[in-house]
Structure 1
Amino acid sequence: MTLISYPTRVHFADAVMEHALWSEMEKGRVRAALLIWDRSHANTEFHDRIRDGIPPGADILSCEIAEGADTDLLARRMADGPEMQAVDAIVAFGSVAAIEMGRSLRRELHGSRPAFFAVPGIDGLPDPCNRNLESWRDGLPSVVICDPTLTQSPAPGALLRAAVLTLMRCIESYLGAAYNPPADGMALDGLSRAIAALPQLVATQAGDLDTRRELMAAALNAAMAQEKGIGPAHILARALAAECHDRLTADAGRLILPGIVAATGRGNRKLDTLGRVIGGGGPDIETALHCALDGLPMHARLSDLGLTAHHLKRAAQAVAGRRDISQSVAEAVLTQAY
């Protein structure tokens, strides 16, 4: 049985954040809001604009996440605190880590759950839970506010890496076995936007507002398309990033995606459509992906990330039990990219 569920309100426009947050909180009669952000967004324009969007009279609680913090553990501890009893809205903004923290905290709260507002940065929304898609649906924000003007000062390389992660999410969602036509449509749209953004991101490393808007739209579509689940390349890329203790998921994903798609997509009738969207004129999907990704100014080999053969073997264990790829095939793809 196919279950398709998208119970999220989305605001998407330039400079919409303050008005959208204010109106949603007033409509929900929010009396106390918990703001969640990571340390990189402290004392920034993003942070100031979020506070400007809180209606007067609403109490504000704050949670700043330290770099590398265990958000699940932090959420469990916060859920037991007496101050959470008064909170009727969680506003997580700026980064995947902050939004993941908000999702975890809301899941830990028993009884009446507060509304959950997510205001993503350029890296978009978190992945769904690996274990089951019901937790993905339960963890969706009540409201998502996408405002491209909030992405005016990204860290060097952040936009390019966001584009690569979005591209990877879209491709794997589209190729996923689950029958979900809306997700397939969003995946293809997100992929075409991400592919179109890559040349300017390579040339400028910053991107104008039009490019950032397209990339934010692509990231939103990619996240929503993941109702079909997380693909093996994304899981392996995250496992590799964890092994080298750095946020290099996009670098690892770029290097292994062509091999993973070639290994898992044989016989999939959707490959021709993917090839047309990606372009490049290659004779097969692996060649087309190499044409699109190989020239990007990112790490050239997995060994450049400080990984060893032992790290590859351990990372390959992350796909154990999957039907679409065996652990041995995953290890072979990782070794080829090493």
Structure 2
Amino acid sequence: MSLITYLSRVHFADGVLEDAIEAELDYQRIARPLVIADQALQGRAFERLLAALPEQVRPKVLDVPPSTGREEDLLAAAQLFATGRCDGIIGFGGATAIDLAKILSLTGADPAALTRRLDGAGAPVRMRAAGSPAIVIPTSAASGAGLSRCAGIVRSDGRRVTLIGAPMLPAAALCDPTLMGEEPGEAVAAAGMDVIVHCIETYLCADWNPPADGIALEGLRRAASVLERAVADREDLEARRELLAAALNGALAEEKGLGGIHALAHALEETPTAAAARHGRFHAALAPHVLAFNAPAVGGRYTLIKQAMRLPAAADLPQAVADLGERLALPVRLGMAGVRRTTLDPVSRRAEADPANRTNPRLATAGDYRAMLEAAF
């Protein structure tokens, strides 16, 4: 592909929530927002959001569980959106609230059409039409600081479906590092590992996009330098700021494409037993084997990745990523993460069909993915 496009309106600074929310609501012409917020984050950060809203704005608020957005949550949001006569959405928190906000921005008060489409989905669903504006306010680095082109939802039967495409981008994002710090270390670790994998995979992606390459390497440098600090110390504002910036880099670079780690992760997350897992939880187990598979096709790119991660020139990149995952207390074997061996065949087939496989530097078959899963088990 030769077309290069970039993103949404982004405000990024310490304290930008108070500085930008009124202006952004006015710019998007939102007077009656539905605020979708993670239940786990109903603390000082959420109080800051409510206090920052202009006096004339009368929000409706929906609290959602902080795991993975469910179809029933989307239906509840749609009902509240309709009864409240809302004209926009604010997603506040982690991936759950933000993904639901982005999906609701497409479906509005009537998600039935989306539900019908999902009923026949056996692979990630491409979205093509946008509706009400969504403003996302991330309190973590998950899902590319809310600027990923993907969003996940768990169907009523337990399956997770991934929605992809430019319409999944929010109208605006307010990235305020001072809102971070309420998430547990496990969530920060999974989100941070996803940032690192985003940057690695977009840099290795087979498509041609020189700006994305530079953005990805810079994001990788930032994330690798602070991730362990961000997990260990919630009060480390510099680490949080750098990790959020790296997530933004990864989201910007995602325009180029992803790769086999995400193809497998998406496929695993679509199994009912793993649907509630945080995105990024499986990366430490998967990445070493996908990186080893891709090695013959990437030329000297692993050298630049190791430089960005400040690894010795002689370091083995797949092993270094596995070691990082272990230090972050992420599962380095799929069996440790609760994956069932009986799911490996259907997961392999879904990974082959995933759009991320088409931009992996080395095209993988279902058989290739089955071998990688077996090695990761």
**Shared fold per TM-score greater than 0.5:** yes
**Deviation, structure 1 residue 100:** 1.1
Distance 1:47 1:163, change over 3 A: same
1:313 and 2:350 are equivalent in the alignment: no
**1:337 alignment partner in structure 2:** 376
Distance 1:309 1:50, change over 3 A: same
**1:141 alignment partner in structure 2:** 170
Query: Over aligned residues, Cα RMSD in angstroms?
Result: 3.0
Could you state the TM-score of these two structures normalised by the residue count of structure 2? 0.79
Q: Distance in 1 between matches of 2:302 and 2:27?
A: 45
Query: 178-187 or 103-112: which moved more?
Result: 103-112
Alignment of 1:24-173 (within 5 A): 24-41=24-41, 43-66=42-65, 71=70, 74-75=73-74, 78-79=77-78, 83=82, 86-109=85-108, 113-122=131-140, 123=142, 124-125=145-146, 127-129=148-150, 136-173=165-202
1:100-150 deviation line (CA, Å, top 9, x unaligned): 1111111124999332211012122264349xxx95322211111011111
Question: 8 Å contact 1:197–1:215 — kept in the other structure?
Answer: yes
**Deviation, structure 1 residue 94:** 0.4
**2:155 alignment partner in structure 1:** none
**2:307 alignment partner in structure 1:** 276
2:294 to 264, 273, 289: 264
Unaligned segments of structure 2, at least 5 residues:
111-128, 152-162
1:186-236 deviation line (CA, Å, top 9, x unaligned): 21111111110134246x353500001101111111122212234221232
Distance 1:135 1:164, change over 3 A: closer
1:228 and 2:256 are equivalent in the alignment: yes
One-letter amino acid of the counterpart of residue 237, structure 2: L
Question: 8 Å contact 1:31–1:58 — kept in the other structure?
Answer: yes
Distance 1:249 1:67, change over 3 A: closer
One-letter amino acid of the counterpart of residue 212, structure 1: R
Distance 1:178 1:48, change over 3 A: same
**Deviation, structure 1 residue 27:** 3.8
Partner-residue secondary structure (3-state), 1:320: helix
Q: Distance in 1 between matches of 2:164 and 2:329?
A: 36
Partner-residue secondary structure (3-state), 2:297: coil
How many equivalent pairs are there?
335
Distance 1:313 1:292, change over 3 A: same
Alignment of 1:162-241 (within 5 A): 162-201=191-230, 204-206=232-234, 208-241=236-269
Partner-residue secondary structure (3-state), 2:146: coil
Calculate percent identity across the aligned residue pairs. Answer: 28
**Deviation, structure 1 residue 85:** 8.4
Question: 8 Å contact 1:78–1:84 — kept in the other structure?
Answer: no
Q: Distance in 1 between matches of 2:10 and 2:322?
A: 34
Question: 8 Å contact 2:62–2:77 — kept in the other structure?
Answer: no
Unaligned segments of structure 1, at least 5 residues:
none
Question: 8 Å contact 1:166–1:218 — kept in the other structure?
Answer: yes
Distance 1:264 1:28, change over 3 A: same
1:86-105 deviation line (CA, Å, top 9, x unaligned): 43321111011111111111
Could you state the TM-score of these two structures normalised by the residue count of structure 1? 0.87
**2:121 alignment partner in structure 1:** none
Question: 8 Å contact 2:32–2:88 — kept in the other structure?
Answer: yes
Moved over 6 A (4+): none
Question: 8 Å contact 2:267–2:351 — kept in the other structure?
Answer: no
Question: 8 Å contact 2:34–2:60 — kept in the other structure?
Answer: yes
